[in-house]
């Protein structure tokens, strides 16, 4: 039984997690970032969060591979900015749900559920999870940063 399952309070939750992780093979990562159908962060343009202050889908014709993951961009300017300083725009925790990482798991994200805090992009699974994240962000951020080295190596992704 792995560490994530030991944290579960009931055996049924552990079983459900394992089944869900197996069911999300299309979400398996090939690079270092959350990917769905081979594209990082659901195809959202990471620069748009910073420059346009909104979630914008990128175009397949404007893409760039960074750390093995394909990112898409809404404009040539965004692509150029990312190429210059990808670490500035790349999402934290590999683009996985920041709250999930704080809880010790990799979880899928919705590209529309995001925020930039102190110059860093954080994504969340859904709006309810983001409310929980925002309510205790400082403590959860510390937990996520502490958990990330172990969570990063996990191949299981909660859908």
pLDDT digits (tens, 9 = 90+) for 120-150: 999 999 999 999 999 999 999 999 999 999 9
The model's pLDDT over 38-70, given as tens digits with 9 standing for 90+, comes to 999 999 999 999 999 999 999 999 999 999 999
* pLDDT of the residue at 31: 72
* 30 close to 104: Cβ distance less than 8 angstroms: no
User: Considering the entire predicted model, what is its pTM?
Assistant: 0.80
Q: What torsion, rounded to 10 degrees, do the Cα atoms 43, 49, 53, 54 define? A: 20
What tens digit of pLDDT does each residue of 97-125 get? Answer: 999 999 999 999 999 999 999 999 999 99
Residue 154 neighbours by CB under 8 Å, 6+ apart: 4, 105, 106
Q: b/e for 42-75, b at 16 or more Cβ within 10 A?
A: bbbbbbbbbbeeebbbbbeebbbebeebbbbbbb
* Per-residue CA distances from 145 to 19, 83, 100, 112, 149 (Å): 27, 25, 11, 23, 8
């Amino acid at each position: 039984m792995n560490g994530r399952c030991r944290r579960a309070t009931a055996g049924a939750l552990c079983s459900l997690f394992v089944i869900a992780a197996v069911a999300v093979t299309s979400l398996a990562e090939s690079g270092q970032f959350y990917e769905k159908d081979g594209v990082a962060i659901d195809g959202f343009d990471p620069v748009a969060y910073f420059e346009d202050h909104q979630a914008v889908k990128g175009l397949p014709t404007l893409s760039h591979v960074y750390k093995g993951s394909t990112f898409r961009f809404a404009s040539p300017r965004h692509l150029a900015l990312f190429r210059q300083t990808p670490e500035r725009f790349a999402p934290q925790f590999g683009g996985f749900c920041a709250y999930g990482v704080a809880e010790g798991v990799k979880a899928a994200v919705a590209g529309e559920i995001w925020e930039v805090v102190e110059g860093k992009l954080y994504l969340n699974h859904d709006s309810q999870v983001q409310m929980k994240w925002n309510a205790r962000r400082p403590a959860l951020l510390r937990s996520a940063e502490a958990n990330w080295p172990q969570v990063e190596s996990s191949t299981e992704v909660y859908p």
